[in-house]
Structure 1
Amino acid sequence: MAHEINLNRLAVFTALVRAGSFTAAAEQLGMTKAMVSQHVARLEQELGVTLLVRSTRRMSLTEAGVTFHADCVRILADAEAAIERVGESHDMPRGTLRLTTSLDYGIAVVAPKLASFMRLYPAVQVDLVLSDHISDVIAERFDLAIRGGWLRDSSLRATRLGGFRQLLVASPAYLAEQGTPRRPEDLPAHRGIAMSALPTPLRWTFTAQGGARRTVRMRQAAQANNAAAVRGLVLAGAGVAVLPDYLVEEDIRADSLVALLAQYRLPEGGIHAVYPGRKAPAKVRAFIDHLQGKTP
């Protein structure tokens, strides 16, 4: 029988008992007195019991009505609490933030940001998955993915967090042994370290200050499947490579690596936060803001 009950009538019945009359209940609910009476009559019909005894001057609850009213009050209170909890989770970051990003960017940027984010929002737990393959955000149940490079067409929502420069680098030891390239045309004579995850890892296009472009194809000496491993090979003097600035800037400042052909630009990439759904939950919105520097 429960599936035949119109649950909206529970709220009308409870409001009627609270108001004490059909007229007062109608005013509170914003409906006509006849509609309130109709709802209660149909509720009694659906339940198969009499809830109210009506007279021209007053109404009173039957024994079944008293018991049912107490249950209705509890049910509606539980519903309001559930709605409030959903609202809190929508407005206040809480729960588990499950996100994925590449190994190099995750270690260099995302992990430190997550640590400070967790201090700001102690009700949030973190599940960080580092992988250099493009994860299926929906199928793998991620709240958020941080992706570097150039976005593919997708049904996911995307927020640009910033960008990065690509830098051509080599170690001082390698350059002392093999010489320093001065022009893009010098590069094919050098040992290239390829990041195999890229579609054309050894085909590099340089843009001069005047806008002229020069594309070179490197000779492969080694390859690795993520940028952190490529960096390790370059630091060890294995060859030259193109790497993102966030991964090598500290090495350049420490003179562990040398930035080459500074008078030319390589294509710049973007850093994007991508997530499913029309509107991100509070924990996702808050972490995107944190990555953008909008929180302390």
Structure 2
Amino acid sequence: MSVFDNLYQLRTFVIIVECGSLSAAARRLNTTQPTVSRHLSALEREVGTTLLQRDTHRMSLTLTGHQVLANAKSIIELVEESENRLRAEQKQLEGHIRLFSTIDFGQSVVSRMIASFIEAHPGITIDLSYSNRPIHMIEEGHDVGIIAGNITDDSIIAKRIGSIQRLIVCSPGFLQGKQVDSPTDIESWPWVTLKGSQFNSTNNMTFYTKDGQKQSISVSSVLATEGVTGIREAIRMGLGIALLPTWLIQQDLVSERLISILPGWMPQSIPAHVIYPSQRMLPSRLRRLISYCSEYMAPIL
């Protein structure tokens, strides 16, 4: 532990020196003289030597005391400056943000997050667009994007905010009479899949068990679409089988409109990112939104 870790001890020491006595410092700090004395003694133990020479008539700094005093004042000034700047940013957080998100993720999870962010910061306004082509949206001047999938473009900073978990699902009617023991059993079934460059090849799938087993399959799509909501609707109608995110299908699983199959075999999760241009200084409203994304998404993803 560093001598300068305890900010309250440092402030107490500075105030003792400024006031000229322990009793005067105690009055200024609205505490007792023994409390002030304990903090001073604790700081001197951390330093390993006496900081103040005290007798019944006067108090004076030792050489080490002078050094610690100067450093303590610098640290306190830096902390106070940072606190003031943070408070100012909180009071002045306002302006417009051009935001985009991948389609279904944006229409559900992201839209709720934005509503919560605006409630917390009423000086902010946001334009929300949807696209599964994130590079294109950044090039058009959007400030920030919240997307599902991988990003490999060097012109963009991608901050991971979580992983989207998925399940293998189909309708109860579709499964009727079919025997399922492993991923190879469903390889030849009709699949409804997600398309989009950031999702890589969604027809090549790998599944894992908790005990380390792994199986990869290559499937054929009867329908491929950019939106998972469209996939869910097709699966509800019994068109085939699909991988769908848990945040989308929770109510379907409860109502048994959809059922999870092969629960012991889990597909790879899809990363979720907040992205923004790498060649730009971010204003405080964007920095706050990016930080808020991580906090909001953590319990969901």
TM (norm. structure 2) is 0.63
Distance across 1 between alignment mates of 2:232 and 2:206:
20
Tell me how large the CA RMSD over aligned residues is. 2.5
Unmatched 5+ stretches in structure 2: 1-86
The alignment status of 1:292 with 2:294, answered yes or no, reads yes
Distance across 1 between alignment mates of 2:138 and 2:222:
38
The residue number in structure 2 matching 1:114 is 114
What's the secondary structure of 1:283's corresponding residue?
A: helix
Q: CA deviation digits over 1:125-152, x for unaligned, max 9? A: 1100011222335421111011212231
TM-superposed CA distance for 1:160, in Å, is 1.9
Matches within 5 A, 1:132-151: 132-151=132-151
- 2:205 and 2:216 in contact (8 A); partners too: yes
Number of aligned residues: 208
Unmatched 5+ stretches in structure 1: 1-86
Matches within 5 A, 1:167-186: 167-176=167-176, 179=178, 181-186=180-185
TM-superposed CA distance for 1:119, in Å, is 1.1
- 2:98 and 2:128 in contact (8 A); partners too: yes
- 1:137 and 1:143 in contact (8 A); partners too: no
Which amino acid in 2 is paired with 1:255?
E
- 1:169 and 1:240 in contact (8 A); partners too: yes
- 2:156 and 2:276 in contact (8 A); partners too: yes
Query: Structure 1 pair 255/91, CA: closer, same or farther in 2 (3 Å)?
Result: same
The residue number in structure 2 matching 1:218 is 219
Which amino acid in 2 is paired with 1:110?
V
Distance across 1 between alignment mates of 2:216 and 2:239:
22
- 1:92 and 1:283 in contact (8 A); partners too: no
The residue number in structure 1 matching 2:228 is 227
The residue number in structure 2 matching 1:238 is 239
1:283 to 281, 285, 292: 285
TM-superposed CA distance for 1:91, in Å, is 7.7
Distance across 2 between alignment mates of 1:173 and 1:229:
19
TM-superposed CA distance for 1:279, in Å, is 4.5
Distance across 1 between alignment mates of 2:131 and 2:280:
25
Which structure has the larger Rg? 1
TM-superposed CA distance for 1:282, in Å, is 1.7
- 2:191 and 2:222 in contact (8 A); partners too: yes
